[in-house]
Amino acid sequence: MYEAEIQQAANMLLRSNHAVALTGAGISTPSGIPDFRSPDSGLWEKHDPMAVASLIGFRHRPDLFYQWLAPLAKTLMTAQPNPAHYALAKLETLGILKSVITQNIDLLHLKAGSKTVYEVHGHVREATCISCFTVYQAEPFMKEYLESGGTKILRCPSCGGVLKPNVILFGEQLPLNIFNAAKREIQQCDMMVVAGSSLEVYPVADMPRQARAAGAKLILINLSETDYDRVADVTIHGDVADFLPRIVQAVEAQKPPLEVA
């Protein structure tokens, strides 16, 4: 299935000069990380996102946020990259993919070996005190927090203020430097691979349109349909952990080996 599309995607990548990838929750679900919107399994099925994961909600009731976060944090701590993450890292090693723009906070692209990753929705590496704005590595705080089952609120060792993980909550602006860097990648790219994103969350959902407007070709791999299916040059409805590695295999089958000096 999709053999012609796989070959076409490989050919397009080989002809590209500046390919970028845009990834969403669907690239990490094969690693055991639930997404936010899928029926029955999405994280918003049982929780009001504005109550537990908005900036206003966090400032008023950080305890609700930390209770909600506990099972997800435990999963994030143990999750490992899957073949889709490794496939994108391989494309970067081959010199084809220049960067990954991701909506995910799970660090799995970096764990897989990708070097240039723009985490436009933040990440779980660090936490910032909302009172004195000191930034801490999050890992030293996580063991005690997880052992509490989410009943412990992370607090700043310096001032006692509440620590907020450096992830973007509802009502919070995206990290400006990272987002601007990602936009520069969009302006330069001649090829975009969208992997595992429903393209429903703005402003990231507008990036494929911006890439197309700048003349870039578009490869779209996602389990469900998206609003961009009809305008993409290649559309594959399937598991990115299956199809991305197959595309990379097709690329490697055609790409000449690197010369050794």
H/E stretch holding 252: helix 240-254
Place of tokens 């537990």: 52
Q: What pLDDT was estimated at residue 17?
A: 97
Please tell me whether the overall predicted TM-score, pTM, comes out greater than 0.85 for this model.
yes
Structure tokens at 93: 């090693």
- Answer yes or no: are the C-beta atoms of 137 and 128 closer than 8 Å: no
Query: First and final CA of the chain: distance in angstroms?
Result: 40
Catalytic residue, from 18, 85, 109, 121: name it: 121
- Answer yes or no: are the C-beta atoms of 189 and 196 closer than 8 Å: no
Query: Beta-carbon neighbour count of residue 45 at 10 Å?
Result: 12
Give the span between the Cα atoms of 184 and 207, in whole angstroms.
11
Regarding beta strands 163-167 and 122-129, do their DSSP bridges make them parallel or antiparallel, or are they unpaired?
Answer: antiparallel
Structure tokens at 171: 């009502």
Indicate if 237 belongs to the active site.
Answer: no
Q: Which residues, in sequence order, are bridge partners of residue 219? A: 193, 234
Q: Which long-range contacts (CB under 8 A, 24 or more apart) does 230-236 make?
A: 232/194, 232/208, 233/8, 233/12, 234/5, 234/8, 234/9, 234/12, 235/5, 236/2, 236/5, 236/6, 236/9
Per-residue pLDDT of the chain (261 residues; tens, 9 = 90+): 899 999 999 999 999 999 999 999 999 999 999 875 444 444 545 556 677 789 999 999 999 999 999 888 889 989 999 999 999 999 999 999 999 999 999 999 999 999 999 999 999 999 999 999 999 999 999 888 998 888 899 999 999 999 999 999 998 999 999 999 999 999 999 999 999 999 998 999 999 999 999 999 999 999 999 999 999 999 999 999 999 999 999 999 987 655 544
- Answer yes or no: are the C-beta atoms of 105 and 126 closer than 8 Å: no
Sketch out the chain's domains with CATH numbers. 1-33+81-121+174-255 (3.40.50.1220), 35-78+124-167 (3.30.1600.10)
Q: What pLDDT was estimated at residue 260?
A: 46
